[in-house]
C-alpha cells in the first residue's frame, strides 16, 4: 500500500536543514575542509581563522605576503568555494 506522504530521504533532510536554519553552519564546515584541501598544508598552516557571516567569508592569514598573494585570487577562490557548495552561497571573501 502506497502512502501519499512518501518523500525521498534527501528531500526530508533538506527540509529539516532549512527549517532548523542549519545550512550556514554546514556550509562553514564544508568551507573549512575545502580550504585545507584546496590550499594544502603549507597555506593552511598560516590560516589562523575562517569565519562565515551571512554571505561573507572572513579568512585571517598570519603572513602578510601570503595575504597579499591570496587577495589577488579572491574571485577564483570565491568561484571554487561556491562550486564546492553547489550554489552561489558566498558573495564576498575578505582576507585579513
Is the pLDDT reported for residue 4 higher than 90? no
Q: For 22-49, what is the mean pLDDT?
A: 91
H helices of 20-73, where?
23-46, 64-72
- Cβ atoms 96, 75 nearer than 8 A: no
Dist. CA 82–CA 16, nearest whole Å: 22
Structural domains in the chain plus CATH codes? 24-95 (3.30.70.2210)
Q: How confident is the model at residue 3 (pLDDT cuts 50, 70, 90)?
A: low
Neighbours of 35 (CB within 10 A): 19
The pLDDT value recorded for residue 18 is 82
Amino acid at each position: 500500500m502506497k502512502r501519499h506522504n512518501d518523500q525521498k530521504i534527501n528531500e526530508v533532510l533538506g527540509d529539516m536543514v532549512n527549517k532548523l536554519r542549519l545550512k550556514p553552519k554546514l556550509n562553514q564546515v564544508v568551507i573549512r575542509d575545502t580550504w585545507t584541501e584546496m590550499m594544502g598544508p603549507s597555506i593552511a598552516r598560516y590560516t589562523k581563522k575562517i569565519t562565515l557571516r551571512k554571505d561573507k567569508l572572513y579568512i585571517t592569514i598570519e603572513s602578510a605576503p601570503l595575504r597579499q598573494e591570496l587577495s589577488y585570487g579572491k574571485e577564483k577562490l570565491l568561484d571554487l568555494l561556491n562550486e564546492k557548495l553547489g550554489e552561489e552561497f558566498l558573495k564576498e571573501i575578505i582576507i585579513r
